[in-house]
């Protein structure tokens, strides 16, 4: 295949002049007929790896996708770009199915999106029979981690896709996902019966995401601060329980934020309505459990907040990764407490899922949450990447929002000693009161105002001491019991540190820097660069134009253009179709279809 062919295709249909890392190699594997496994981060251009080769090759590529909403968005985008694509699923009427069937026989499509059940489920024989008259160029399986029981989102119906080897002999299979450890990749290969697959694993790092992690203190106040940073922008707030989702969504609505709940306890119709409202920009904030996510293709999500820690770093990477899919800056804030991990242990134990592996995943999540160090490095190295940068300029630690303790060992020993002195029978708030020298009724009544640890940290706030307690718990020096009124206890490692100050080399503790009233909002390097020379008023006007077009066509706005494309328009102000075609994300079909409208808006501005 000539080197220019793929280049011409991505330029003409997608408006891209270059490939992202590993895209070209992944496309070449498809064109060579090799089975493959492709792991690229969310927003890394994964879909293009199978869409572009499908346009280049004869025949129709089958794209297996888990959700109807996801299929519809991708097909709408492809058709808008001038790529002949269709979907075939239960949402179609009989006449629509007949139309797609006729189009297949006539060779009108390059891509056909289907569910796993359509290919290998009950009644799939008639669909496979329909395909027998077509040339199937290849099969692409999106969200392929669903195949593996070691993945974080295992789906039994995906497990049956191994039958495709027999149903479509000689057709190459390609698995695509954003999150897969080496173990999950091996399982995917085995379950699909891949033949000597070539593997492409991209960097897990998302430089455009700004990671922050803070101990839960006053949750509503902490959420208000995030929402003020992202006023008028789209975001997702994840909670552990449905009850928390409903309560937070109701509270946010009462404060004037258009927030909708999403969890498995709502009816299918309600969930669908709320998801559509978010995708079509009729609502900017979704408060959700982990039930919300896989079908979410909205590219301009500018913040993802976890109002409670998830159960693993795999889950955190997948959920926080829904921010900034357009490559522009976005904030990922984790608001955590030791109680979150206790909650997960109780839930998993109740469901018979508290295995040694599940506990190890929880411990890794806890270490990340309370960790003092570069968060981009922590995540990258957890997923097996080498992280060579000195500082990421995109996390609370590297942006100097955390203030490392100058004397972490003496500080830790003061806190551990206080836990011991109160008999390991009280929680973090009581321990903080004693250390601060606060003679509350309970402290005085228990005789704790006379302890040697009373007033050892007089300048520290309750929130600061609780933060240190969270860090010591994550490091395995303290343990919080799972009772209705949890108390702090020393672990063996904690006792060792009390006896020997040198027993824990490399100990690091930090506190959140108190924000200054006059301090400007902290911005990552990516955010500063992405707004450079952009006319913000023009950008807002172009977003308004995009929204009007999207509503008139009944598609989500990001199907028209991503924010990144609109920002570049507002930066370079193209004055002709030829100039517009130089903007990344504007292909020939889009320029022909929408160019005059956007050029007029730029001229009028």
CA gap 158, 10 in Å, rounded:
30
Q: How far apart (Å, rounded) are the C-alpha atoms in residues 266 and 243?
A: 12
Give percent helix, percent strand, percent coil of the chain, each to the nearest 5. Answer: 45, 15, 40
What are 378-394's pLDDT values in tens digits? 999 888 888 888 889 99
pLDDT tens digit sequence for 236-249: 999 999 999 999 99
pLDDT tens-digit readout, 313-372: 988 988 998 999 888 999 999 999 988 998 999 999 999 988 888 898 899 999 999 999
Query: CA-to-CA distance for 269 and 275, rounded, in angstroms?
Result: 10
- 325: Cβ–Cβ under 8 A, 6 or more apart, which residues? 42, 43, 297, 298, 299, 300, 301
Helix and strand counts by DSSP (H, E) for the chain: 28, 17
Contacts of 366 (CB under 8 A, 6+ apart): 309, 338, 341, 473, 474
Residue 464: φ, ψ to 5°: -65, -45
Angle subtended by helix axes 408-421 and 462-474, to nearest 10: 90
Give the pLDDT score at 291.
62
Whether 1 shows a pLDDT value over 50: the answer reads: no
Q: Which CATH number fits domain 408-512: 1.20.1560.10, 2.40.50.140, 1.10.10.10, 2.60.120.480?
A: 1.10.10.10
DSSP state of 397: T
Query: In terms of Cα–Cα distance, which of 89, 145, 79 is closest to 114?
Result: 89
Helix extents (H) in 438-587? 441-445, 462-474, 492-499, 525-530, 536-553, 557-560, 563-572, 577-580
The alpha carbons of the chain give a radius of gyration, in whole angstroms, of 27
Mean pLDDT of the chain: 90
Chain centre to alpha carbon of residue 75:
22
The conformation of residue 395, written as its DSSP 8-state character, comes to B
Give this prediction's pTM: 0.85
3 — pLDDT class (breaks 50, 70, 90): very low
Residue 225 CA to residue 229 CA, distance in Å, equals 6
CATH of region 209-401 = 3.40.50.300
Q: Decide: 58 and 134 in contact? Cβ < 8 Å.
A: no
**Percent of the chain at pLDDT exceeding 70:** 96
Q: Is residue 4 predicted with pLDDT exceeding 70?
A: no
Q: pLDDT tens digit string along 486-535?
A: 899 999 999 999 999 999 999 999 998 876 655 566 778 888 889 999 99
CATH entry, 533-604, from 1.10.150.80, 3.40.50.970, 3.30.420.140, 3.30.560.10: 1.10.150.80
In the prediction, which pLDDT does 148 show?
80
Helix (H, G, I), strand (E, B) or coil at 84: coil
Please give the pLDDT value at position 293.
Answer: 61
Q: What's the pLDDT tens digit per position in 198-216? A: 999 988 889 999 999 999 9
Tokens 């954003």, residue located: 178
What's the CA angle centered on 123, arms 119 and 129, to 5 degrees? 65
Q: How far is CA 380 from CA 383, 523, 564, 584, in A?
A: 5, 21, 25, 28
The whole-angstrom separation of Cα 140 and Cα 138 is 7
Note the pLDDT tens digit of each residue in 78-117.
999 999 999 998 888 899 999 999 999 999 999 999 988 8
When pLDDT is cut at 50, 70 and 90, the band that residue 260 belongs to is: very high
> Tokens 């702090």 correspond to what residue?
488
Instruction: Assess if CATH 3.40.50.300 describes domain 3-201.
Output: yes
Residue 297 is encoded by which pair of tokens? 């293709």
pLDDT tens-digit map of 164-198: 988 899 999 999 988 777 888 998 999 999 999 99
Query: Rounded to the nearest 5 degrees, what angle is found at the Cα of 427, between the Cα atoms of 424 and 432?
Result: 100
Q: Is the pLDDT of residue 2 over 50?
A: no
Is residue 556 within 8 Å of 537, Cβ to Cβ? no
Q: At what angle do helices 375-382 and 356-370 cross, to 10 degrees?
A: 160
> Which helix (H) or strand (E) element contains residue 512?
strand 510-512
H/E stretch holding 159: helix 156-159
Could you tell me where the beta strands, DSSP code E, fall in 202-326? 209-215, 234-238, 259-262, 285-288, 301-306
- Give the pLDDT of residue 444: 95
Q: Where in the chain is the domain with CATH 1.10.150.80?
A: 533-604
Asked if 293 and 319 touch (Cβ cutoff 8 Å), the reply is: yes
Residue ranges of the chain assigned to CATH 1.10.10.10 = 408-512
Q: pLDDT (tens digit, 9 = 90+) per residue, 8-63? A: 999 999 999 899 989 999 999 999 999 999 999 877 789 999 999 999 999 999 99
What's residue 268's pLDDT?
84
Q: Tell me: the pLDDT tens digits for 463-491?
A: 899 999 999 999 999 998 866 678 999 99
Angle at 339 between CA 471 and CA 469, to 5 degrees: 25
Torsion angle defined by CA atoms of residues 411, 413, 417 and 419, in that order, rounded to the nearest 10 degrees: 70
């Amino acid at each position: 295949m000539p080197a220019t062919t793929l280049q011409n295709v991505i330029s003409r249909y997608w408006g891209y002049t270059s490939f992202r890392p590993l895209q070209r190699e992944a496309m070449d594997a498809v064109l060579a007929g090799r089975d493959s496994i492709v792991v690229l981060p969310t927003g890394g251009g994964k879909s293009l790896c199978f869409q572009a080769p499908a346009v280049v090759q004869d025949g129709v590529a089958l794209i297996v996708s888990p959700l109807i909403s996801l299929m519809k968005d991708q097909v709408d985008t492809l058709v808008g770009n001038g790529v002949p694509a269709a979907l075939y699923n239960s949402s179609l009427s009989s006449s629509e199915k007949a139309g797609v069937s006729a189009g297949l026989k006539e060779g009108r499509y390059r891509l056909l999106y289907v569910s796993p059940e359509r290919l290998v489920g009950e009644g799939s024989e008639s669909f496979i029979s329909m395909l027998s008259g077509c040339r199937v160029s290849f099969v692409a399986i999106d969200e392929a981690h669903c195949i593996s029981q070691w993945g974080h989102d295992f789906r039994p119906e995906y497990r049956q896709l191994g039958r495709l080897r027999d149903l479509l002999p000689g057709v190459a299979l390609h698995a695509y996902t954003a999150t897969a450890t080496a173990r999950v990749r091996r399982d995917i290969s085995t379950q699909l019966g891949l033949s000597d697959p070539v593997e492409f694993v991209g960097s897990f790092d998302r430089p455009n995401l700004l990671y922050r992690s803070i101990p839960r203190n006053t949750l509503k106040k902490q959420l208000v601060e995030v929402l003020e940073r992202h006023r008028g922008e789209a975001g997702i707030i994840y909670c552990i329980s449905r009850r928390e989702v409903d309560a937070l969504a109701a509270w946010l609505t009462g404060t004037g934020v258009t927030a909708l709940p999403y969890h498995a306890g709502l009816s299918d119709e309600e969930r669908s309505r709320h998801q559509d409202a978010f995708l079509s920009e009729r609502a900017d904030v979704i408060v959700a459990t982990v039930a919300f996510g896989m079908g979410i293709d909205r590219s301009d999500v500018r913040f993802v907040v976890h109002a409670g820690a998830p159960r693993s770093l795999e889950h955190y990477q997948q959920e926080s990764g829904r921010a900034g899919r357009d490559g522009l800056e976005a904030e990922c804030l984790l608001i955590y407490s030791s109680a979150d991990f206790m909650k997960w242990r109780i839930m998993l134990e109740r469901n018979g899922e508290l295995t040694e592996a599940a506990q190890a995943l929880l411990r890794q999540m806890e270490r990340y949450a309370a960790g003092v160090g570069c968060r981009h490095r922590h995540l990258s190295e957890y997923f097996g990447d080498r992280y060579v940068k000195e500082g990421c300029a995109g996390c609370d630690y590297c942006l100097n929002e955390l203030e490392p303790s100058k004397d972490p060992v003496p500080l830790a020993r003061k806190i551990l000693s206080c836990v011991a002195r109160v008999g390991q029978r009280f929680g973090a708030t009581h321990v903080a009161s004693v250390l601060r020298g606060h003679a509350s009724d309970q402290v005085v009544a228990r005789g704790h105002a006379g302890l040697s640890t009373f007033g050892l940290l007089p300048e520290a706030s309750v929130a600061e001491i609780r933060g240190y307690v969270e860090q010591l718990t994550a490091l395995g020096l303290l343990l919080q019991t799972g009772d209705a009124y949890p108390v702090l206890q020393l672990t063996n490692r904690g006792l060792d540190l009390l006896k020997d100050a040198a027993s824990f080399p490399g100990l690091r503790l930090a506190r959140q820097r108190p924000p200054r009233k006059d301090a400007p909002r902290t911005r990552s390097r990516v955010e500063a660069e992405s707004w450079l020379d952009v006319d913000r008023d023009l950008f807002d006007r172009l977003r308004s134009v995009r929204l009007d077009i999207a509503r008139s066509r009944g598609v989500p706005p990001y199907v028209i253009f991503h924010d990144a494309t609109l920002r570049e328009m507002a930066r370079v102000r193209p004055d002709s179709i030829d100039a517009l075609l130089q903007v990344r994300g504007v292909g020939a079909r889009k320029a022909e279809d929408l160019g005059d409208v956007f050029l007029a808006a730029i001229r009028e501005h």
